[in-house]
Amino acid sequence: MAGLPTWSIGQSASASFAIRYSPLARTGALGFIAQDLAAARDDMTDPQRDLQTYVARALDQFHRKNGRHPQGDLELAVAVVDWVATVMRHPAFYPEDPGLPRLYPQAPSTRYDTFVGEAVRILNYTLAFDPADTANWPSPLCTQQNFAAAGMLNVLGLHARLVEVEGHTGLEYYSFAHYKWIWADATYNEHYESARGEPLGVLELNRLTLHGGIEKVRAIKHGYPTADFRSNTFLQSSPHGFRQYAAMLYMNNFAGNGRHLNKFHTVVYSPEPPAGYRPLPGEILNFDRLVDSGGWFQWPKTDNPESLDTPIGRLAVFDGLIPGVVGVSFRLRCYLPYTQRFEARMDDGPWTAVENLALAENGPILSAPIVAPWNGGRVAVRAVDNVGNATLPILIDMKP
């Protein structure tokens, strides 16, 4: 095909190949309608670039706290959710001591209902109030906080989605360092780590809740509200809060889209608790409760968490690899939203574009045929989006 490097060598009788690393074993059954991150950086509904100003303030706050700039996407997410938690105080946490009377109205301002998904309008409205004016504070709740944080992460080139757990709506962002979704909540202002120090997403937190190990998860607090009081940590206030969850599948909120969108939730639930599940005292074990019970009753439902685990940073080989005279031909299935090009490299050589896409779309998409030559050594292939995010590459060892 046009644009492919002219790799060619005759196939010998002993030629062989092997996929050394194929990172995608399965994919989410339900699509994720992601934000075009290039549009988020040039939002026509934010002519004054207010959201970019707020992002800069969040990064500056991180620098003042830590004496350095954020390193990697996890620290970028920490900077954003920490700043949002600080400037958009949730009424349940002020003052932080739950034993003291609450000082803010507990119901949010109804104006927030008109800002669905639009981070800059949520922030502009909230920041017009003085947090010291407790009687008139608009009392943003978890949904408004995490929508604001999601928009700021989009400006930083990271995809984000809201996730509803039991009694709370939090946030996950997609890490192109860990190639998975990671929980980073702007309400409790925390993320979670395993005992080994690995950041966790809701898929893992759900498994640990159902199959044992959630008690070993560590809450990493970023600031206000601190962990000085147990209820200021979600897993302390809701130890089994991840036993069911619902990911928001439509997060394309810039360019004027936010006000027109509704949530679409598919609930991950356990129809029957696993045999090893250890219920909390007084916990009702029937997870799938009727609408009049006060439990979770949203539809549609799935008992397969992987169906919502959209692998936007990973690739799959589509329909096998076909050996030929000059090498091995294959196509890639790509789940990276707004992919701009496919790239390949041989051994430690430079990345070379093998296909440039005329139109960057949400995806998933199929590449044109790609040829890995027999003399290519270790061939790596990946996809790159329109702001520079790259998928985890697939590696193919070629042996002439």
The one-digit pLDDT tens for each residue of the chain (400 residues) are 333 332 333 344 467 888 776 555 455 556 788 999 999 999 988 999 999 999 999 999 999 999 999 999 999 999 999 999 999 999 999 999 999 999 999 999 999 999 888 999 999 999 999 999 999 999 999 999 999 999 999 999 999 999 999 889 999 999 999 999 999 999 999 999 999 999 999 999 999 999 999 999 999 999 999 999 988 999 999 999 998 888 888 899 887 776 656 565 677 877 777 888 888 888 777 666 554 554 444 556 777 787 788 889 988 888 888 898 889 999 999 989 999 999 999 998 999 999 999 988 887 899 999 999 999 999 999 999 999 999 999 999 988 7
Q: In whole angstroms, give the CA distance from residue 311 to residue 267.
A: 18
Both structure tokens of 213: 């190990």
By C-alpha distance, which of 381, 358, 359, 385 is closest to 369?
A: 381
DSSP 258-292: GGG----EEEE--SS--TT--PPTT-----S--GG
CATH 3.40.50.980 fits 16-26+311-399, yes or no: no
Cα–Cα distance between 22 and 17 in angstroms, integer? 13
Please state, in angstroms and rounded to a whole number, the distance separating the CA atoms of residues 287 and 243: 9
Q: How far is Cα of residue 203 from the mean position of the Cα atoms in its chain?
A: 11
